[in-house]
Amino acid sequence: METVVELSGVVAVLSNFPALAGIDLVVHRGEIVLLHGPNGAGKTSVLRVCAGLLPIERGEGSVMGVNLRTHRESVREQVGLLGHSNGLYLELTVTQNVSFWASTVGATEQEVALAMQRMKIDGRLAHVKASQLSAGQRRRCALASLIVRRASLWLLDEPHAGLDTAGQDELDAILQSAVSSGATVVLASHETQRSRLLATRVVKVDGGLISGSES
Partner 1 sequence: MTSRMQTVRRVSLAVVRKDLRIEWSSKVLLNQVAPFSLVIMIMFAFALDNEGILQRVAPGLVWLATLFSMLVIVQRSFAVETADGALDALRVAGTEPLGIFIGKSLALMVQLLALELMLLAIALVLYAVEPTAMGYAETFATMLIATIGLGFVGTLYGGLGAGARGRETLLPLLLLPAVAPVLIGATRATEAAFGSGGAQSSEGWPWIGLLAVFAGVFGAVGALAFGPMIEE
- Decide whether 86 or 204 has the Cβ nearer to partner 1: 86
Burial class (CB in 10 A: 0-12, 13-18, 19+), 28: middle
DSSP element (H, E) containing 177: helix 165-180
- Decide whether 186 or 202 has the Cβ nearer to partner 1: 186
**3-class DSSP state for residue 64?**
coil
Distance between CA atoms of 84 and 95, rounded to whole angstroms?
A: 21
CA distances from 174 to 81, 160, 183 (A): 15, 12, 11
Distance between CA atoms of 104 and 98, rounded to whole angstroms?
A: 10
Long-range interactions of 109-114: CB distance < 8 A, separation 24+: 111/147, 111/148, 112/148, 114/147
- Decide whether 103 or 181 has the Cβ nearer to partner 1: 103
- Decide whether 118 or 149 has the Cβ nearer to partner 1: 149
- Decide whether 74 or 152 has the Cβ nearer to partner 1: 74
Residues 88 and 66: beta-carbon distance below 8 Å: no
To 5 degrees, how large is the angle CA 36–CA 203–CA 39?
A: 25
Residues that bind partner 1 (CB under 8 A): 51-53, 73-77, 79-81, 83-92, 96, 100-101, 103-104, 106, 129-130, 138, 145, 149
- Decide whether 102 or 210 has the Cβ nearer to partner 1: 102
Query: At 200, phi and psi to the nearest 5?
Result: -85, -20
Please report how close the Cβ of residue 161 comes to partner 1 at its closest, in angstroms.
14
**3-class DSSP state for residue 30?**
coil
